[in-house]
Amino acid sequence: MKRNRDNGLFLLLIGLLLFVVFFFPFWMVLINSAKGPFEITNDPLALPTNWGELFGNIAKIWTSPNIQYQSSFFSSIIITAGSLLLLNVLSAQAAWALVRTHSRSSTLIFTAFVAAMVIPFQIVMFPLLSWFRTVTDFTGIRLLRSFQGILLAYVGFGMSQSIFMFHGFIKSIPLELEEAATIDGCSRAEIFWRIVFPILKPIQATVLVLNGIWIWNDYLLPLLVLGKGNEIMTIPLAISNFAGAYVKQWDLIMTAILMAMVPVVIFFLIAQKSIIKGMVAGSIK
């Protein structure tokens, strides 16, 4: 009995020690966001002398024309929310059409989508740019450096996995439900919107979480599709522009990073369970 309790204490100590190690980078960001340029170089480990500086730094980042944090923040929200909305709706309806239609084309299309999951971004990224440019030349619709272009890109790169996850879930929904609705006079489209789509809620949560975290943090795709020095930037782009400059203002970089982390961490605290569940479910695709 005694040995058991000692064991528990020992494990708790190890856990706490590891937690301190894991938490250390966050702690560094937090305390150094409340320092000035001299304080941060002289004493990066100490607590800030004046926590009020944190708000001063936040105000500087939020309004600085060099960083364009404000507009990047809203662009990031538009891009993430827009892509999520499109991915969720379009993948769900596509997956349903693929599950409920038994034909050669439906099998072929599904196989093609699944196969596309192994394609790394690197092999398509350069030709994507020249192809987008060609399309713009012919149609006049701007795809590079524009919202519609990056939304299209995210739908294209996110759809395979999303469809795959919806596909698996829809297969488990009994067909009787939809047959009953057909007898009641519902059209195919109505069946999807009124009956199937609401049932998909749990898997929608998974798809939203997986894609949301990916798109919000993504760097390479926005770097290529939106480009540097564009009016439209995402937060990772804005931070890399600012932090990649020759003179590193670490105090302000840390504040910008803190501001980028806080929304994600708040979101995590609110929806912790579905985030963890969603991300683990997404791995077992």
| 240 contacts: CB under 8 Å, gap ≥ 6 | 219, 223
Q: Helices marked H in the chain — which ranges?
A: 2-32, 37-42, 53-63, 69-100, 104-116, 121-139, 147-171, 175-183, 188-190, 197-199, 201-217, 220-225, 235-243, 250-270, 272-283
Distance of closest approach, residue 96 Cβ to other proteins, in angstroms: 7
Q: Please, how many CA atoms are within 13 Å of residue 283, restricted to the half-sphere of its CB?
A: 5
The pair of three-digit structure tokens given for residue 281, joined into one six-digit string: 């479910």
**Does residue 97 touch other proteins according to CB under 8 A?**
yes
Distance of closest approach, residue 108 Cβ to other proteins, in angstroms: 12
State which of residues 85, 108, 177, 279 lies at the interface with other proteins (CB under 8 A): 279
H or E, element range at 1: none
Cβ nearer to other proteins, comparing 122 with 172 = 122
Specify the residue for token string 């790169």.
Answer: 157
Positions 236 through 275 that interact with other proteins (CB under 8 A): 236, 239-240, 243-244, 250, 253-254, 257, 260-261, 264-265, 267-268, 272, 275
Q: With contacts defined by CB under 8 A, name the span among 52-60, 130-138, 171-179, 198-206 that binds other proteins.
A: 130-138
**Does residue 233 touch other proteins according to CB under 8 A?**
no
Is-contact 83 158, C-beta < 8 A? yes
Distance of closest approach, residue 275 Cβ to other proteins, in angstroms: 8
Instruction: Print the binding letters for residues 28-47 with other proteins: x by CB under 8 A, - otherwise.
Output: xx--x-------xx-xxx--
State which of residues 1, 47, 104, 122 lies at the interface with other proteins (CB under 8 A): 122
DSSP string over 151-187:
HHHHHHHHHHHHHHHHHHHHHTS-HHHHHHHHHTT--
Positions 137 through 196 that interact with other proteins (CB under 8 A): 152-153, 155-157, 159-160, 163, 182, 187-189, 192
**Does residue 230 touch other proteins according to CB under 8 A?**
no
Is-contact 261 213, C-beta < 8 A? no
State which of residues 61, 164, 170, 218 lies at the interface with other proteins (CB under 8 A): 218
Closest CA to 225 of 158, 84, 127: 127
Question: CA-to-CA distance for 207 and 269, rounded, in angstroms?
Answer: 18
State which of residues 3, 6, 38, 120 lies at the interface with other proteins (CB under 8 A): 120
Query: What is the identity of the amino acid at 221?
Result: L
State which of residues 64, 70, 136, 217 lies at the interface with other proteins (CB under 8 A): 217
Distance of closest approach, residue 54 Cβ to other proteins, in angstroms: 17
Q: With contacts defined by CB under 8 A, name the span among 15-23, 58-66, 172-180, 200-208 that binds other proteins.
A: 15-23
Distance of closest approach, residue 174 Cβ to other proteins, in angstroms: 19
Specify the residue for token string 């979101």.
Answer: 267
Instruction: Print the binding letters for residues 60-89 with other proteins: x by CB under 8 A, - otherwise.
Output: --------------------------x---
Cβ nearer to other proteins, comparing 88 with 232 = 88
Closest CA to 277 of 214, 203, 168: 203
Question: CA-to-CA distance for 17 and 5, rounded, in angstroms?
Answer: 18
Is-contact 149 143, C-beta < 8 A? yes
